[in-house]
């Protein structure tokens, strides 16, 4: 239901004006501006990844504006010496109307990040973009080793994609997936998605143990899965710092602090921007606890 709602233009235009919806979304994002995001980054005490919300832009001018925005973010982060990285969607950079311009923007961001000793992540979107995103990322990684890609454990194809990315040497952020995809290409049951998440994480840790040039990020709030994967890492003789735990701002903050205190690398993902509605609906679809929180905003 929430995934369907995330794609509704009618709901998008109306929900963003409703006060209790705006209150509820504050759980998951510190605000709509980059200043809000950077203030939260300074206060958290762990590394962060920033992403400006918005996808499927309508004009080259919008994409140019997004690219300029991220360039300024990278410059500000460097000037303030913050442990902050950025993550971008290719449709934010104009992929829907010009692959050439999209790649130009992406390479400019990767170059600016490299000049500051920083990192650039490429988000994965719906399966309509999987092949082209992988192709663009492989070309990018050939020039910029300071780049990584998000992959989704609910897709059947991801095991093969991960194998090819490991052979390339990549940063890989593993997430479960938050788009509505059919049973012909994606697991539908949570248990299947979780099982594949663990299997993919273990394969990435095996690559780390083998000395492959792979940076591993685990994007999940499921502490049970994190602890299960951590046990595999320990059994392989890998340190706690052999992978990163990546959780969204506002979700399981107590666990983020606990895991960081135990010596794990924890990185908080902070989203910001005005185009938060579809992203917020996907967050509600991910965990029942998120829905309960939103309902409390209605009755409170």
% helix, strand, coil for the chain, step of 5? 55, 15, 30
Q: Please, which residues have CB within 8 angstroms of residue 281's CB and are 6 or more apart in sequence? A: 2, 3, 5, 6
Please tell me which residue in 112, 141, 173, 215 is annotated as part of the active site: 173
* Other CB atoms within 10 A of residue 222 CB: 20
Check: CB of residue 271 under 8 Å from CB of residue 25.
no
Question: Is 173 considered catalytic here?
Answer: yes
**Other CB atoms within 10 A of residue 48 CB:** 23
Is 12 annotated as catalytic? Answer: no
One DSSP character per residue, 1-40 reads -HHHHHT-HHHHHHHTT-HHHHHHHTTT-S-SSHHHHHHH
Q: Which helix (H) or strand (E) holds 213?
A: none
d(CA 45, CA 57): 33
228 exposure class (CB count in 10 Å sphere: 0-12, 13-18, 19+): middle
Task: Evaluate whether 226 touches 6 at the Cβ level (below 8 Å).
Answer: no
Are 249 and 84 in contact, with CB atoms under 8 Å apart?
no
Set 123, 161, 222, 268: catalytic member: 123
Q: Which residues are catalytic?
A: 123, 173
């Amino acid at each position: 239901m929430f995934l369907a709602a995330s794609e509704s233009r009618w709901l998008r235009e109306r929900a963003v004006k409703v006060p209790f919806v705006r209150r509820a979304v504050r759980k998951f994002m510190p605000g709509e501006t980059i200043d809000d995001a950077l203030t939260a980054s300074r206060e958290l005490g762990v590394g962060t990844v920033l992403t400006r919300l918005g996808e499927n832009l309508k004009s080259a001018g919008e994409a140019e504006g997004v690219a300029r925005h991220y360039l300024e973010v990278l410059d500000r982060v460097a000037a303030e010496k913050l442990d902050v990285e950025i993550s971008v969607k290719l449709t934010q950079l104009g992929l829907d109307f010009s692959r050439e311009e999209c790649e130009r923007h992406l390479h400019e961001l990767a170059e600016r990040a490299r000049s500051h000793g920083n990192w650039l992540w490429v988000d994965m979107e719906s399966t309509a973009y999987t092949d082209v995103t992988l192709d663009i990322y492989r070309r990018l990684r050939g020039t910029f080793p300071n780049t990584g890609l998000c992959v989704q454990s609910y897709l059947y194809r991801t095991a093969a994609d991960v194998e090819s990315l490991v052979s390339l040497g990549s940063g890989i952020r593993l997430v479960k997936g938050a788009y509505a995809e059919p049973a012909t290409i994606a697991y539908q049951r949570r248990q299947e998605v979780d099982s594949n998440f663990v299997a993919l994480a273990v394969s990435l840790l095996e690559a780390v143990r083998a000395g492959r040039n792979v940076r591993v990020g685990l994007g999940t709030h499921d502490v049970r899965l994190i602890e299960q994967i951590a046990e595999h890492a320990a059994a392989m003789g890998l340190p706690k710092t052999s992978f990163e735990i990546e959780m969204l701002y506002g979700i399981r903050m107590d666990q983020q602090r606990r895991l960081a205190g135990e010596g794990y690398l924890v990185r908080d993902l902070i989203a910001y921007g005005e185009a938060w509605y579809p992203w917020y609906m996907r967050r509600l679809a991910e965990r029942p606890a998120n829905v309960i929180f939103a309902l409390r905003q209605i009755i409170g």
